[in-house]
């Protein structure tokens, strides 16, 4: 078989050139055998580099090794053995390797044993098998030799790509989206979290339903296909797959109604905080950046902390105070990741509203990550999807105790005004609290009031919601000079002293 391609531009033409496609065939490619590409039967250097560029490339260090027997407690007793495959269509080779390393971490979090990881350079994923027919055959050989149970692709595959790649490699194939959904299903704890994950899974599954043979086909109207049927084959004319789709759609509608009711309850609580005008601070950022650790350090919330991706999914809201006594709420949200499945964004929209409705976002970045700037860009992409791009943002570089000093220096240059902390050791937390205090919305009204002793509830609210500049106990009541929100200032108007009237 001859594969035609432009030697000056390998991506030119309707079909992307793939050397393995020709290697897999029994015939020698006539174009590659031409004298312009060989001298005395030896390929030119450029041709060798071209073949190397589009070959499957192993990423070193992706095999999973248990360093401590206690790690087995976190994973399944029988670890699923997987091979990772990614298509590199943009960015640098380092970007491709980092993406596959992240996929390895996701697979390990889901409870899999990573045997191998490979990347391929292509202009775009193959529409049929994701990696091309030749590379799919090579992948099958690697799967057979390693004894893998599953192939995980670093991207979202179409239903056709999943089916055709499975037919070639002869094992189960899943994509990045299915892997993330599986992790969410394992880690969801609350009723709302479980409903959100189930909705996202059903949304993903619906277009990927398929029958497994004729036994699932119930389509038999009339004489069942030209008179070859018989008694018992006449039916309602609905296939099994159509019945499954209808049941899934009904279940999704029920879940949306349940989530709408839960969102109403969440909105009522949020309105109560708005009425009291307590500033809201949302902790957001890349998964495993240390958001829950930071919440625990600031408030003592006791939220689960684990060195795993998407360890905590359910939002947690806690109250904290600035050094000058102002109360504000801190909410921990679900972590983000590159190419976060849009099904999850839609299902978790009510939860992510905590970020969009906040007065300030603490954008936590993992300073020990090899490419923290890419994390910043990925999280800001999700901010734009949920309408939080205009909320004031305070960058917090976490894990400075484990970060590379050169990476930290680059981040200081690229992200001026960022606060460096270590949630594990507590370094920089005091500076972070001061930065939060300065970034929170300022209280609107200055009041001087004399509150009777029988109205201690108002004094208590001034302590909770305002900032007391001076306090004195007199024979008639408590004299206060304070900065308070508008709503509370209106309630205190009747007790204003002569200085403010």
Tell me how long the chain is.
501
Give the pLDDT of residue 352: 77
- CB 116 within 8 Å of CB 84: yes
CATH topology of domain 57-183: Rossmann fold (3.40.50)
Give the pLDDT of residue 232: 57
- CB 18 within 8 Å of CB 32: no
**How crowded is residue 120: how many other Cβ atoms within 10 Å of its Cβ?**
25
Give the pLDDT of residue 73: 45
Name residues of the chain where pLDDT drops below 50.
Answer: 1-38, 69-77, 212-216, 219, 222-227, 501
Give the pLDDT of residue 295: 86
- CB 319 within 8 Å of CB 329: yes
Give the pLDDT of residue 213: 45
Task: Compute the distance between CA of residue 200 and CA of residue 183 in angstroms, rounded to an integer.
Answer: 12
Give the pLDDT of residue 164: 92
Q: How much is the pTM?
A: 0.68
Give the pLDDT of residue 141: 93
Give the pLDDT of residue 272: 65
Domain ranges within the chain, ordered by starting residue: 1-54, 57-183, 276-439, 445-495
Same fold, 57-183 and 276-439: yes
Class of domain 276-439 as given by CATH? alpha beta
Residues paired with 21 in a beta bridge: none
Give the pLDDT of residue 168: 93
Q: What does the DSSP assignment read for 296-351?
A: HHHH-------SSTT---S-EEEEEE-TTS-EEEEEE---B-TT--HHHHHHTHHH
- CB 63 within 8 Å of CB 95: no
């Amino acid at each position: 078989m001859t594969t035609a391609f432009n030697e000056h531009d390998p991506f030119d033409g309707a079909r992307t050139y793939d050397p393995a496609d020709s290697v897999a065939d029994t015939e020698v490619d006539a174009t590659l055998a031409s004298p312009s590409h060989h001298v005395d039967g030896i390929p030119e250097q450029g041709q060798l580099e071209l073949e190397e560029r589009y070959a499957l490339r192993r990423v070193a260090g992706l095999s999973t090794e248990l360093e401590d027997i206690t790690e087995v407690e976190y994973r399944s007793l029988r670890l699923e053995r997987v091979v990772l495959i990614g298509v590199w269509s943009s960015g640098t080779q380092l970007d491709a390797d980092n993406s596959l390393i992240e996929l390895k971490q996701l697979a390990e979090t889901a409870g899999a044993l990573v045997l191998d990881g490979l990347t391929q350079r292509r202009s775009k994923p193959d529409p049929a098998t994701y990696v091309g027919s030749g590379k799919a055959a090579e992948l099958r050989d690697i799967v057979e030799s390693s004894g893998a149970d599953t192939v995980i692709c670093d991207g979202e595959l179409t239903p056709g790509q999943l089916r055709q790649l499975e037919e070639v490699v002869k094992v189960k194939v899943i994509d990045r989206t299915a892997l993330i959904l599986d992790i969410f299903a394992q880690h969801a704890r609350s009723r709302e979290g479980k409903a959100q994950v189930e909705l996202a899974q059903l949304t993903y599954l619906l277009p990927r339903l398929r029958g497994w043979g004729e036994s699932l086909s119930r389509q038999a109207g009339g004489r069942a296909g030209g008179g070859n049927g018989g008694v018992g084959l006449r039916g309602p004319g609905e296939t099994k797959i159509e019945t499954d789709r209808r049941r899934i759609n009904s279940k999704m509608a029920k879940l949306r109604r349940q989530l709408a009711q839960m969102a109403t309850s969440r909105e009522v609580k949020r309105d109560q905080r708005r009425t009291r005008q307590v500033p809201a601070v949302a902790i957001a950022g890349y998964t495993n950046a240390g958001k829950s650790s930071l919440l625990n350090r600031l408030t003592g919330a006791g939220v689960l902390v684990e060195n795993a991706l998407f360890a905590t999914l359910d939002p947690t809201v806690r109250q904290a105070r600035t050094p000058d006594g102002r109360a504000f709420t801190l909410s921990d949200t679900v972590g983000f990741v590159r190419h976060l499945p849009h099904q999850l964004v839609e299902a978790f929209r009510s939860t992510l509203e905590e970020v969009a409705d906040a007065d300030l976002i603490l954008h936590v970045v993992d300073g020990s990550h090899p490419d923290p700037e890419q994390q910043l860009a990925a999280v800001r992409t999700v901010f734009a999807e949920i309408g939080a791009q205009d909320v004031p943002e305070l960058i917090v570089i976490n894990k400075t105790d484990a970060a590379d000093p050169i990476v930290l220096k680059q981040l200081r240059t690229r992200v001026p005004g960022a606060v460096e902390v270590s949630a594990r050791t507590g370094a920089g937390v005091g500076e972070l609290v001061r930065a939060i205090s300065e970034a929170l919305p300022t209280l609107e009204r200055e009041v001087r009031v004399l509150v009777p002793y029988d109205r201690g509830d108002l004094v208590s609210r001034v302590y909770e919601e305002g900032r007391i500049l001076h306090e004195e106990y007199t024979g008639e009541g408590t004299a206060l000079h304070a900065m308070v929100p508008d709503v509370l200032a209106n309630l205190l108007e009747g007790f204003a002293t002569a200085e403010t009237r």
